[in-house]
């Protein structure tokens, strides 16, 4: 992303400002990155965060332009008093006297400032926990709730709603509002993936700013005036770009909901698993929400080096296939349902006696780096030709990569594919046609669509296929092995910029399906006689020691957001 | 009604746009011109304006809905705007509007403009018409009526019925 952190150039000395937060001395940088990463005067809100506190806020979002419209972040503050000589006025004990900010015509009443948009100045004192601040928060919440329908029991946001959270923390239990509430449109069809409940909206404009300034699609606005203000698109259904679902994430209340997730599951039941999107080579970091073995949603997970807080709609919604009923559940040997034991025994024997060069391997760049590494080990022992298959699409200016494989670089770095993917496929086809290649191993691709048609496959003595969903190649397999979706196993992908990112297992695979790396680990052991690691940590570390591009890496050092290597 | 912008109006609007350092600033003037021409601002005019000024229709629509003066539906031939702000309210503008509504068979409880079925009259409440000293004040189309009495109101209705 454009706002990726500055690279390794030595950071210039940071100018600091001394202020006080709730009576404690703190030093904060004078300038901090704004939503676009440009340095701007540090705001009160950022300063309080640095001091370890939190200022409740709705409209402020670190990756969106500041709007300052919700007033939730109001805090009481003071500045050093200046004498007529422009010198600070001192207390008897020599400390600077602080003038608390008050209303000019009503000096008993504190005048707050919106912390999200007010820069700090030297000697300033912020009082984010003072009684006056608390009162301001109460008042703001009370006015936000005036027309709010309070339909939390049927609201998808309940459990992750800022309005709920702040009301509990900073609000008051009872409403003093006796007038009828203003009613606004419910269940507005804003776009193909978004439903809007205008009554729940607090008009923070995060959605408007996101789609205008981040997605580049100025599709939303506020219509009408005063208490009738309503978020709207020009036409029902008009809010349609590949990033619309991010507005559901950033909407602080339950106004914007995902048609896909709406009314499906209460969020507090969801198990959260750190993972990576597998729909293109960008590798957006995600959190998988699942319950009892079923995936309910993908959400973006913040990673400054990759996707920031966003992800595309296509990637987010590409999880349904994991639960498809026609998944390959069982091991088949020559069309007959079998077991891993039988299949593996035969495969080990077969590969063990295969003459040099009689085997070829096609491994999809959707397999994990560890799996590709193990396949490469096998290929080296067998003198096998190897390749992957490129998967291309239209890129966009924000996140989506033209490369729709999540691990093309993994395939390249492990030596399974050349820079130009698929360049070996014609040679493999020739080998099969000439009868020199007798065994083909395919992992996760339908090779019949890429020059190795059913007629060629029919000439093979042995076709070993591992896949997730049925296709023409799996139909021709002598050995058919059920594989795992990436959400069902652990591993790493290397994204288009060389970011090595690990992902965790969210759900169990169906039936007899097993993580491919576990199976391959056994094959390598049996065929090459080498001992490998039977844990993903050990396997990754072994790969890092053997493959130069990964030198120095360790599974544990990848952290939650990965490490960038030179590619 | 099919929407088309006559060449003279288009030329006038093109010229108008040149008055502003930023084209988008001409939006309001465009909307005024359309309302003058069509009697209201149809949706097509919003799209046309957006296209012309390099905006999205929603940007222009925000303006149209913000200002009650812009009408999205056609109004009656006689458009009666009763001031409801303080001086006029004290001087009985609510009763005056009630009188108009009753005489015309309109629902005075609705807060939006009401138009009679025959399309002859529209009655609505508006904010201060800046003639507070002569309250209550009513605008009938472009004419300002001051210190309006029930008799005068009836005269307005009578001449509008013709
Ligand atoms: S819909 Fe949500 S994000 Fe958009 S303005 Fe309303 S509360 Fe804010
Ligand atoms: S941009 Fe690519 S990696 Fe990111 S969410 Fe979309 S498909 Fe997934
Ligand atoms: S966070 Fe909304 S005004 Fe500051
Ligand atoms: S209050 Fe009616 S004109 Fe000002």
Q: Which of A462, A356, A461, A369 lies closest to A411, judged by CA?
A: A369
Both B86 and B135 in one domain: the answer is yes
Residue keyed to tokens 């031939």: B77
CA distances from A225 to A108, A206, A228, A297, B66 (A): 33, 18, 5, 36, 5
pLDDT bucket at A179, cuts 50 / 70 / 90: confident
B73 domain-assigned: no
In this prediction, residues A409-421 reach a mean pLDDT of 95
pLDDT bucket at A173, cuts 50 / 70 / 90: low
Say whether pLDDT at A53 is over 80.
yes
Both B142 and B101 in one domain: the answer is yes
Q: Does B102 touch chain A (CB under 8 A)?
A: no
**Alpha helices (H) along A51-130:** none
Chain A interface disruption, residue of B60, B61, B62, B126, most A CBs within 10 A: B62
φ, ψ dihedrals at A210, nearest 5°: -60, -50
CA distance A133 to A115: 11
Q: Which of A486, A497, A518 lies closest to A562, judged by CA?
A: A497
**Alpha helices (H) along A222-368:** 246-250, 313-317, 340-352
B148 domain-assigned: yes
Chain B's closest residue to A216, CA to CA, is: B56
Residue keyed to tokens 């709406």: A262
Within 6 A (CB) of ligand 4 lie B 83, 85-88, 128-132, 135, 137
Say whether pLDDT at A358 is over 70.
yes
Q: Does B66 touch chain A (CB under 8 A)?
A: yes
Q: Which residue among B66, B95, B112 closes a domain?
A: B66
Both B149 and B83 in one domain: the answer is yes
Helices and strands counted in chain B (H then E): 7, 5
B72 domain-assigned: no
Max avg pLDDT among A7-11, A263-267, A491-495? A491-495
Residue B145 maps to which CATH number? 3.40.30.10
Neighbours of A216 (CB within 10 A): 12
pLDDT of residue A153: 80
User: Residue B59: its chain A contacts at CB < 8 A?
Assistant: 218, 221
Chain A's closest residue to B56, CA to CA, is: A218
- Residue B137 sits in which domain range? 78-160
* Domains of chain A in sequence order: 16-144 (3.10.20.740), 179-323 (3.30.70.20), 331-394+401-564 (3.40.50.740)
Chain B interface disruption, residue of A185, A221, A232, most B CBs within 10 A: A221
User: Residue B57: its chain A contacts at CB < 8 A?
Assistant: 234
Residues in chain B: 162
Both B84 and B143 in one domain: the answer is yes
Q: Which of A249, A31, A229, A201 lies closest to A121, judged by CA?
A: A31
Both B59 and B104 in one domain: the answer is no
Both B112 and B133 in one domain: the answer is yes
User: Residue A232: its chain B contacts at CB < 8 A?
Assistant: 58, 61
User: Poorest-confidence range of A7-16, A143-152, B19-28, B45-54?
Assistant: A7-16
Residues in chain A: 567
pLDDT bucket at A60, cuts 50 / 70 / 90: very high
pLDDT of residue A269: 83
User: Could A224 and B68 be called an inter-chain contact, meaning their C-beta atoms sit closer than 8 Å?
Assistant: no
Both B90 and B143 in one domain: the answer is yes
Q: Which of A488, A482, A490 lies closest to A465, judged by CA?
A: A482
| B59 vs A3: which has the higher pLDDT | B59
Report the alpha-carbon angle A102-A108-A113, nearest 5. Answer: 25
Closest chain B C-alpha to A67 CA, distance in angstroms: 17
B71 domain-assigned: no
Considering chain A, what is the average pLDDT of its residues? 93
Ligand nearest to the CA of residue A220, numbered in listed order: 1
Evaluate the CA torsion angle A320, A325, A331, A333 in order and state its sign.
Answer: negative
pLDDT of residue A8: 57
Neighbours of A217 (CB within 10 A): 17
In this prediction, residues A128-148 reach a mean pLDDT of 89
pLDDT of residue A2: 43
> What's the number of domains chain B is made of?
2
Residues A427-445: tens digit of each pLDDT: 999 999 999 999 999 999 9
In this prediction, residues A327-353 reach a mean pLDDT of 96
B135 domain-assigned: yes
Q: Which residue among B37, B66, B95 closes a domain?
A: B66
What 3-state DSSP class applies to A36?
coil
Ligand nearest to the CA of residue A212, numbered in listed order: 1
DSSP string over A288-302: EEEETTEEEEEEE--
Residues A101-110: tens digit of each pLDDT: 999 999 999 9
pLDDT of residue A4: 46
Both B88 and B46 in one domain: the answer is no
User: Could A218 and B59 be called an inter-chain contact, meaning their C-beta atoms sit closer than 8 Å?
Assistant: yes
Residues A62-82: tens digit of each pLDDT: 999 999 999 999 999 999 999
Say whether pLDDT at B111 is over 90.
no
Both tokens of A240, joined, read 């349609």
In this prediction, residues A481-486 reach a mean pLDDT of 97
Q: What is the dihedral of CA A185, A191, A192, A197, to 10 degrees?
A: -30
- Interface pTM (ipTM) of the complex? 0.84
DSSP string over A160-229: S-HHHHHHHHHS-SS----SPPPP---SEEEETTEEE-TTT-----HHHHIIIIIS----EEEES-GGG-
Q: Which of B86, B76, B83 lies closest to B122, judged by CA?
A: B76
Residues A197-255: tens digit of each pLDDT: 998 899 999 999 999 999 999 999 999 988 889 999 999 899 999 999 999 999 999 89
**DSSP summary character for residue B145:** E
- Cβ contact A492:A554 at 8 Å: no
Residues A3-43: tens digit of each pLDDT: 444 455 666 678 999 999 999 999 999 999 999 999 999 99
Say whether pLDDT at A544 is over 80.
yes
User: Could B62 and A219 be called an inter-chain contact, meaning their C-beta atoms sit closer than 8 Å?
Assistant: no
Residue B28 maps to which CATH number? 1.10.10
Please name the residue whose Cα sits nearest to atom 2 of ligand 1: A251
φ, ψ dihedrals at A220, nearest 5°: -115, 155
CA distances from A489 to A91, A186, A506, A531 (A): 65, 41, 8, 22
Both B156 and B102 in one domain: the answer is yes
Residue keyed to tokens 């005075």: B108
> pTM of this prediction?
0.89
Both B58 and B131 in one domain: the answer is no
Both B86 and B126 in one domain: the answer is yes
Say whether pLDDT at A263 is over 80.
no
B147 domain-assigned: yes
Q: Which residues contact A545 (CB under 8 A, 6 or more apart)?
A: A551
B43 domain-assigned: yes
Within 6 A (CB) of ligand 2 lie A 277, 279-280, 282-284, 307, 311-312, 314-315, 399-401
CA distance A564 to A542: 18
Both B148 and B88 in one domain: the answer is yes
Q: Which residue among B19, B36, B66 closes a domain?
A: B66
Which of A219, A220, A224 is the closest to B65 by Cβ? A224
Q: Does B56 touch chain A (CB under 8 A)?
A: yes
Say whether pLDDT at A308 is over 50.
yes
Residue A550 CB-half CA count within 13 A: 30
């Amino acid at each position: 992303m454009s706002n990726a952190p500055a690279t390794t150039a030595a950071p210039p000395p940071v100018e600091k400002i001394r202020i006080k937060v709730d009576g404690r001395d703190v030093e904060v940088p004078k300038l901090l990155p704004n939503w676009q990463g440009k340095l701007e005067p540090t705001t009160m809100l950022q300063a309080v965060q640095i001091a370890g506190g939190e200022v409740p806020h709705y409209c402020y979002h670190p990756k969106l332009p500041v709007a300052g419209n919700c007033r939730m972040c109001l805090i009481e503050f003071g500045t050093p008093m200046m004498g007529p000589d422009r010198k600070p006025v001192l207390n008897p004990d020599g400390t600077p006297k602080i003038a608390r900010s008050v209303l000019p015509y009503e000096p008993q009443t504190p005048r707050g400032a919106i912390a999200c948009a007010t820069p700090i100045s030297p000697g300033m004192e912020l009082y984010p926990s003072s009684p006056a601040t608390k009162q301001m928060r109460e008042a703001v919440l009370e006015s936000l709730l005036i027309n709010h329908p309070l339909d939390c029991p049927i609201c998808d946001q309940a459990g992750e709603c800022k309005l709920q959270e702040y009301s509990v923390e900073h609000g008051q239990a009872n409403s003093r509002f006796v007038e009828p509430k203003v009613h606004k449109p419910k269940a507005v069809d804003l776009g193909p993936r978004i439903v809007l409940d205008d009554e729940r909206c607090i008009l923070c404009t995060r959605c408007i700013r996101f789609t205008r300034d981040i997605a580049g699609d100025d599709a939303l606005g506020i219509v009408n005036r005063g208490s009738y203000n309503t978020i709207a698109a020009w036409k029902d259904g008009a809010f349609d770009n590949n990033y619309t679902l991010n507005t559901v994430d950033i909407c602080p209340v339950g106004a914007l909901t995902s048609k896909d997730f709406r009314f499906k599951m209460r969020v507090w039941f969801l198990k959260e698993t750190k993972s990576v999107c597998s729909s293109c080579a960008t590798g957006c970091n995600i959190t998988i929400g699942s319950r009892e073995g079923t995936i309910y949603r993908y959400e973006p997970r913040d990673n400054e080096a990759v996707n920031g807080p966003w992800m595309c709609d296509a990637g987010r919604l590409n999880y349904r296939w994991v639960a498809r009923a026609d998944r390959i559940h069982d091991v088949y040997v020559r069309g007959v349902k079998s077991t891993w034991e039988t299949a593996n025994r035969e495969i080990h024997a077969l590969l063990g006696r295969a003459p040099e060069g009689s085997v070829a391997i096609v491994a999809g760049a959707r397999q994990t780096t560890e799996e590709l590494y193990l396949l490469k080990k096998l290929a080296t022992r067998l003198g096998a030709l190897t390749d992957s298959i490129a998967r291309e699409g239209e890129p966009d200016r924000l996140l989506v990569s033209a490369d729709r494989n999540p691990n093309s670089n993994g395939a390249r770095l492990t030596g399974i594919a050349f820079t130009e993917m698929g360049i070996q496929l014609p040679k493999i086809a020739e080998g099969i046609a000439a009868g020199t290649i007798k065994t083909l191993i395919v992992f996760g691709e339908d090779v019949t669509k890429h020059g190795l048609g059913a007629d060629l496959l029919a000439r093979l003595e042995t076709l070993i296929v591992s896949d997730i969903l049925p296709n023409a190649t799996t139909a021709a397999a002598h050995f058919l092995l059920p594989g795992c979706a990436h959400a069902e196993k652990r591993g790493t992908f290397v994204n288009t910029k060389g970011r090595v990112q690990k992902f965790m297992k969210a759900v169990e695979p169906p039936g007899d399906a097993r993580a491919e790396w576990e199976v391959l680990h056994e094959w390598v052991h049996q065929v090459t006689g080498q001992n490998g690691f039977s844990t993903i940590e050990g396997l990754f570390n072994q790969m890092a020691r053997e493959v130069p591009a990964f030198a120095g890496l360790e599974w544990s050092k990848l952290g939650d957001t990965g490490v960038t290597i030179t590619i | 009604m099919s929407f088309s912008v006559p060449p003279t109006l288009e030329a006038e609007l093109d010229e108008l746009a040149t008055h502003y350092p930023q084209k988008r600033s001409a939006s309001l003037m465009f909307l005024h011109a359309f309302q003058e021409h069509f009697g209201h601002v149809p949706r097509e005019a919003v799209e046309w304006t957006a296209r012309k000024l390099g905006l999205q229709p929603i940007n222009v629509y925000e303006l149209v809905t913000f200002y009650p003066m812009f009408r999205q539906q056609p109004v009656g031939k006689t458009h009666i705007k009763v001031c409801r702000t303080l001086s006029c309210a004290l001087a009985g503008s609510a009763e005056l509007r009630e009188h108009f509504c009753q005489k015309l068979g309109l629902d005075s409880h609705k807060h939006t403009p009401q138009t009679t079925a025959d399309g002859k009259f529209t009655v609505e409440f508006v904010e201060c018409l800046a003639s507070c000293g002569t309250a209550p004040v009513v605008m009938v189309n472009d004419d300002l009526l001051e210190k309006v009495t029930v008799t005068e109101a009836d005269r307005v209705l009578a001449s509008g019925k013709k």
